[in-house]
Chains A and B, each alone.
Chain A
Amino acid sequence: MAMLEISGLSKSFGGLRAINDLDMHVNEGEIVSVIGPNGAGKTTFFNLVNGMDTPDEGSILFENQDLVGLRPNQILGLGLARTFQNVRLFPAMTVLENVMVGQHARTKSGLLSAIFNTPRHRREEAEIEAKGKEVLAFFGSRLVGYRFDQLSMMLSYANRRRLEIARAMATDPRILLLDEPTAGMNPRETIELTELIGRLRDERGYTIVLIEHDMQVVRNVSDRVVVLDHGVKLTEGSYEEVSTNQDVIEAYLGRPAEMGS
């Protein structure tokens, strides 16, 4: 039984069919890359899965539960977290606070406990903070120490991308959706992040779906690749199969199959 099962998914914006009768699945523990030329509907696909947009037709089954119609926070509660194509952190909040927000859905203390500073509140705050630091430590020394209290908007671009992943990790997800995690990174950072994605699955047990343009990353990290074009699934398979597929090559308008720097 696939962890994430998408059937017949469709979404139109005005006259434009962004997603057209899409079927795909993700098995538990897999790392699946979703690729395709710009405008193929990849980010729309993510928006539909995590509830930020509603499909016109189709179903999205996550561990046998239909996500269609649920609000994004409910979907997050079920264990599905994502990052964004253009990094969307909370700019005026510190690094640590950004990550601590991730724990909101997993914790319970309310306003009254905060106001009366109950032991339960203090304990939960300490736990949230510890969890946040633990998640940030996953990224080595980059986001720790004095960084905790830095406003997130002051971070470098690469660190912001890492922070976004950390925030998603803090929500204790079962499956992570990463939207172009290496966009805008230099070669060194890209390699580092590729390793990191592998570690996310190996050490943390996350199932991962990522949207990527950098084919090096796709080749190094994916168990399986799904190709979208104009909202339709062109094909899927291993990287070798997909990169030599004629339709895929044509969809990329004749650019060489090996892309990226």
Chain B
Amino acid sequence: MADVEAPPAAVVDKELLPPPELDMRRAVRLGLSNAAAMVLVAATGIVGTFQGRLIIDPFLPLGLLFLYMVAWAFGWLAAKPPTTLEGFAPAVPGPRNLAAGALAGVIGGAGTALLLVLMTTFNLRGVFLELSPALADTLSFGLSVVAAVPLIVAVGTAVGLAGAGVHFLPPRWRRAVMPGLMWVLIFALFTDIVGQFFAGVGLDSITGFLFTRRGGPLTAMGAVIVFVAFSTLYWYRGGRETTLRQRFEVLPAERRTGWTIGLAMAVMVILWFVPRIMGPFVSQVLDNAGIFLLMALGLNIVLGYAGLLDLGYVAFFAVGAYTAAILTSPLSPAFSPELSLLAALPFVMIAAAVAGIIVATPVIRMRGDYLAIVTLGFGEIARILLNSAWLSPYFGGAQGITNIPNLQVGPLEFRSPQDYFIPIFLFVVIAAYITLAVQKSRWGRAWMAMREDESVAEAMGINIVTAKLSAFVVGAILASFGGALFGSQIGSVFPHSFDIVVSITVLVIIIVGGMGSVPGVTVGALALIALPNLLREFSEYQFLFYGVLLIAMMLVRPEGFIPSRRRAQELHTEELAQDDWLEIYGQTGTGEKVTEGSA
């Protein structure tokens, strides 16, 4: 009998087992985590800093909203029904789920109330700078402490319940309401940009209608309109049977290419106009995001394909920047050929390739975690040396190298951030293309095999040395392009721009966006670079969020937000474990376990 291709009727008709009960102890644990998180959000000053920004005028400031969104998230998490496993009935949310959400919320509220009491009773401000009277006022909703405590606990509980309540919404409602709320937030946070956008396309009147003023918070009416508009949009989208992506994949190859090219052209046209509309500040932010995206695509090959955790990746970025600077700037200390950036690019590539080989050679036979640390060491050594007085005759020391000329292509000179957006975007497209082309190639497979199981890959004929060297070199070259563009766009290079923080940021981008997924990494770069830079409040706490995001992503979804399909399947093994069960039951069709041969 051949292996079965679908579960036979015998299995489907079998009675399903009842699902496991929601674990209340877990809800308590989550409640405690909630309390800790809320207290920290308050005590590190996030509430205070965010409070300055109104979401909806006049009653919804971001600080308290954020604080209780944390509680809402924990409520949602606590009430989440366990994953439906094959052979079990799906878990239906019930009163127990609500209780779990409320429990997580009440503990969180209690924690916050406790913080309030402590900080008003004792003067902790000498040590914990943020526990000021202003914060106390915010937390207590302007009431006295005695009145505030029960209120805080009540709000916490209510919010926890609301979080739990999301699980009760039918899927289509959920898929409409949640994005709707998200868009309200987006409009409110990005009020400047939205205003600029509407102004740019001549729809200034809308801005006046939705917001109190241009660059100001949403009006209550505006919030409602945005919510309704987007929810409805998502509602209709949710009603369709297939997602856009699925419909795309079903198309025959030629039409797919047609659509892809058309889409690419449309994107290019939009991206020509967007920087013009958005002005220099936003363009600069987009430029930075683009450069990080370029580096992320490079690290995606080193880490996402070849599985090498290079924590010193910033060193290649620096090599690109400094090589370009030395070759193009008239103020380069030792050696100043004053080439154009285009003429310097081949040398940048060569320098990056050499650097890649130098870094890769000693680490070829090293294990993953040691490789990470050694590359980190190299990165830091590079930075210290670039900064040192000893090598300043070549690299300019702490003063760096300035007067890097603008990019010139024939008669075209790129001057402003808006101008630079185009070459940066072009390089990103090239990098994305390389990423995709390599995936379906001999070396792409070799890298992935090496990542999956290095010894076996070697036993299957892959030369590990060459594979690792080439991965490092390709990654280095892409990073060096980013560096060269970066130096040229800013006009100068300083050693402190090449800190380990850059390597970690690029790592966070590809983890959050999805290792191996080009659209994911793009969204990641925009979210992690553009967002904090555009929102002053977030930039204060940028690295804190990165750290929390890394931990959260590893715990929840190691493959990122927009997963590469393969990675998602790779890491969600508990669902796949069902397959073995299924196969065994399926072969006899009677539900009896088949005896296996002697081992």
Contacts and interface: CB of A to CB of B under 8 A. Distances in A.
Physical contact A–B (CB less than 8 Å): yes
Nearest to B579: A154
A128 B597 contact: no
Residue among B2, B441, B459, B596 facing the most chain A CB atoms (10 A cut-off): B459
A174 B442 CA distance: 22
A61 interface: no
A188 B3 CA distance: 12
Contacts of A93: 445, 448-449, 452, 566
A51 B456 CA distance: 11
A200 B5 CA distance: 26
A52 B441 CA distance: 26
Interface in B450-472: 452-453, 455-464, 470
A101 B457 contact: yes
Contacts of B459: 50-52, 72-73, 76, 81-82
B580 interface: yes
Contact of A104 (B1, B445, B566, B569): B445
A182 B583 CA distance: 18
Nearest to B455: A52
A107 B567 contact: no
Contacts of B45: none
Q: How large is the interface on A (under 10, 10 to 19, 20 to 34, 35 or more residues)?
A: 35 or more
A78 B384 CA distance: 47
Contacts of B576: 153-154
Contacts of A71: 458, 463-464
B231 to A, nearest CB: 36
Residue among A106, A117, A259 facing the most chain B CB atoms (10 A cut-off): A117
A156 B583 contact: yes
A141 interface: yes
Contact of B598 (A154, A159, A260): A260
Contacts of B452: 90-93
Contacts of B437: 114-115, 117
A154 B462 CA distance: 24
Interface in B380-411: none
A100 B438 contact: no
Nearest to A105: B461
B444 interface: yes
Interface in A119-147: 121, 124-125, 128, 141-142, 146
Interface in B108-133: none
B460 A167 contact: yes
B583 A141 contact: no
B205 interface: no
A190 B598 CA distance: 10
Contacts of A100: 445
A110 B446 contact: no
Contacts of A186: 594-597
B538 interface: no
B443 interface: yes
A244 B541 CA distance: 77
Given A141-B2, A184-B599, A105 B462 contact: yes
A168 B460 CA distance: 7
B570 interface: yes
Given A72-B459, A101-B462, 10 more contacts: A52-B455, A52-B459, A71-B464, A111-B470, A114-B441, A124-B442, A153-B569, A167-B460, A187-B597, A260-B598
Interface of A: 50-52, 71-73, 76-77, 81-82, 84, 88, 90-94, 97, 100-107, 109-111, 114-115, 117, 121, 124-125, 128, 141-142, 146, 151, 153-154, 156-159, 167-168, 171, 180, 182-190, 213-214, 259-261
Interface of B: 1-3, 5, 433-434, 437-438, 440-446, 448-449, 452-453, 455-464, 470, 474, 566-567, 569-570, 573, 576, 579-580, 583, 594-599
Nearest 10 CB-CB pairs, A to B?
Answer: A105-B461, A114-B441, A92-B570, A90-B452, A76-B461, A156-B583, A72-B459, A72-B458, A88-B456, A101-B449
